[in-house]
Amino acid sequence: MAISNALLIQLAQECHAMQLPENRVTGIQGLIQQTNTVISQAADARLSLDDHPASYVQWITESASRS
């Protein structure tokens, strides 16, 4: 089900106190929906309990030490 313009306008208002006219949200629903789908599927397939936002810094630092 597509995210409607009306929902995006309401979210902007309720979450960010921002008045977005319809012409500002038209065209971004598709991008938002696609990005949400791709990332949630990637997370379902890969994310484990050991992964967290700081895993990356830890990994590149260890990677530098090894090389």
Partner 1 sequence: MTDAIERLTLVQAADAVARGELSSEKLTEHALSRLARIGPTLNCLVAIHADSARAAARDADQRRARGETLGPLHGVPLAHKDIFYRAGQLSEGGSKIRRGFVPNETATVLSRLDAAGALDLGRLQMAEFALSPTGYNEHNGHVRNPWSLEHVPGGSSSGSGAAVAARLIYASLGTDTGGSIRHPSAMCGLTGIKPTWSRVSRASAMALSWTLDCVGPLAKTARDCARMLRIIAGHDSRDATSADLPVPDYEAALTGDLRGVRIAVPRTYYYDHVTPEVAACFAESLKVLQSRGATIVDTKAPDMAIINSMMHLVMSTEAATIHRAWLTERPQDYAAQVRQRIEPGLYYPAVRYLEALSLRAKLTQEWLAAAMGDADLVHLPTLSIPVPSIKETTEGEPAAIGAAIGVITHCTRGINYLGLPSASVPAGFVDGRPVGFQLVGRPFAEATVLRAADAYQRDTAWHDAVPPAAT
Gap between the Cα atoms of 58 and 23, Å rounded: 43
Whole-number minimum distance, CB 35 to partner 1, in Å? 5
Per-residue three-class SS string for 15-52: HHCCCCCHHHHCCCHHHHHHHHHHHHHHHHHHCCCCCC
Whole-number minimum distance, CB 5 to partner 1, in Å? 12
Binding site for partner 1 (CB under 8 A): 8, 11-12, 15-18, 20, 24-25, 27-28, 31-32, 34-36, 38-40, 42-43, 46-47, 51-53, 55-61, 63-64, 67
